[in-house]
Amino acid sequence: MKRCVWKYLFLLSCLLWACGPAEQPVNPPVEPSNPSDSVLVENDGLLTVEVENVQGGTVKLLYQGDTVIPPFSIEKTHWLTVIFTPDDQHILTGSNIVKGCAARDSFQVKMDTIIRPVFEEIVPATPAEHHKICNYNIRYYNGPGDNANTGNRSWTIRKEKVFQMIRKHQMDVCGIEEITTYQSPDFVAALDEYEYIGYGRDNGKENAAGGAGEQTGIIYRKARYVKLDQGRFFLSTTPHRASKSFGSSFNRMVTWVKLKERNADKTFYFFATHFDHPTTQAGINTRASQADVALNLVPQIAADAPFFFVGDFNCEPSEPAYEKLQQVWTDAFVAMGENAQGGYICNSEQENLFSDACAETGNTYTGLYSSSDKEPKRIDFVFFDPNKTTIHTYWADNDNLGLEAYPSDHLPIITEMTW
């Protein structure tokens, strides 16, 4: 087990510049309440506390004495929360949350208070090498005249819940479907920790360059990744220009980004898409052809690098489009088997109308916004190559965040991957 030693140096007598003439150190200066977890040494009025830890944790400190100014050092990227708690009538101020090489804080307490460093918890964070690879169809909003999205279904109400969901899961990279030019500015403004990539399906232009029409977007965490390349292609016979084929109702596309993890030699590709939607046989055939285009172009772009192909595919696992993709790549939900978590839970009306569909696990489409397509189903997927990537968790989050109709008519998918 890797040792991470944190050292805290507490000056037990008042500093001349802070409190006037120095007084004698408190005697005894320290009473460790959990000596098995900490080693305390006093030398010439200087107290050193050494704590063994692996990833991180919380240390609670009770101070009593004169003035204590602790300079301390921890390894880079390790988090420490220091909580200062008053004891009876003892006066105490100050708190600190640190990350990195060094941090300082100073505070005042009354004389003769015992200093107790206590391990409150050691909870390793999600291992740093895990990447949260996600997908979220946020449901379109076409502006003030959009009568399909009014009341508590309006974007004005939903958007904060969508952003809350993204932050709740601390998504690293996420495909975003059905985002319109009325919504993309909100993503850019509200999620400043993320970079947004999107192209308008009507003209193929980038969001910031006048992209017209609905977008299939991608967000990624800027603090963790560096963008090396990006692009898009259309699911048509002319994929490099805005176009549609195979009887598609709209121009359908794939947006992609090549990312490198900061401070690590890990490069990967992330692809997001939104297949055509009609439930007719013609629509089924269209999606099968769109899958063929993706199966041809994704490997050309990603080459030998790890990659993820996510989106709203508008098809259930029984359709040819899904079967073609699953034969070559792996559906994260299937890979996790019984360990896959979440999925939409039907309301009573849906239970009566669609008992078979509601009995299925892992549904990602809720049917709550539609007047004609109310049947829940699993149509959102995260595909990956198991020869290059290992999946650890899968979760289709059914939390409605207080909205009866949910933030969207799709659930977000959150996976954890390593490679």
DSSP 96-147: EEEESSEEE--EE--TTPPBEEEEEE--PPSPTT-EEEEEEE------TT-T
Give the pLDDT of residue 109: 35
Per-residue pLDDT, averaged over 394-417, amounts to 96
Predicted confidence band of residue 345 (pLDDT cuts 50, 70, 90):
very high
397 and 340 Cβ atoms separated by less than 8 Å: no
Residue 202 phi/psi, 5° resolution?
-75, -35
Residue 267 parent element (H or E)? strand 267-274
Predicted confidence band of residue 148 (pLDDT cuts 50, 70, 90):
confident
The tens digit of pLDDT for each residue in 219-261 reads: 999 999 999 999 999 999 999 999 999 999 999 999 999 999 9
CB within 8 A of 359, min separation 6: which ones?
none
Residue 130 has pLDDT above 80, yes or no: yes
Residue 216 has pLDDT above 90, yes or no: yes
Summarize the chain as % helix, strand, coil (round to 5): 20, 35, 45
Residue 43 has pLDDT above 70, yes or no: no
Residue 52 parent element (H or E)? strand 46-53
Predicted confidence band of residue 49 (pLDDT cuts 50, 70, 90):
very low
Query: What percent of the chain stands above pLDDT 70?
Result: 69
Per-residue pLDDT, averaged over 115-126, amounts to 39
pTM of the model: 0.71
Residue 279 has pLDDT above 60, yes or no: yes
List where CATH 3.60.10.10 sits in the chain: 131-418
Per-residue pLDDT, averaged over 38-55, amounts to 39
Residue 160 has pLDDT above 80, yes or no: yes
Query: What percent of the chain stands above pLDDT 90?
Result: 65
Give the pLDDT of residue 233: 99
Provide the mean pLDDT of the chain: 78
Predicted confidence band of residue 8 (pLDDT cuts 50, 70, 90):
very low
339 and 394 Cβ atoms separated by less than 8 Å: yes
Predicted confidence band of residue 335 (pLDDT cuts 50, 70, 90):
very high
Stretch among 51-60, 146-155, 251-260, 327-336 having the lowest mean pLDDT: 51-60
CATH number for the region 131-418 comes to 3.60.10.10
Residue ranges of alpha helices (H) inside 169-237 are 184-190
Tokens of 341: 């978590």
Residue 113 has pLDDT above 80, yes or no: no
Length of the chain, please?
419
Give the pLDDT of residue 193: 95
Predicted confidence band of residue 127 (pLDDT cuts 50, 70, 90):
low
Distance of CA 222 to the CA centre of its chain: 12
Per-residue pLDDT, averaged over 348-368, amounts to 97
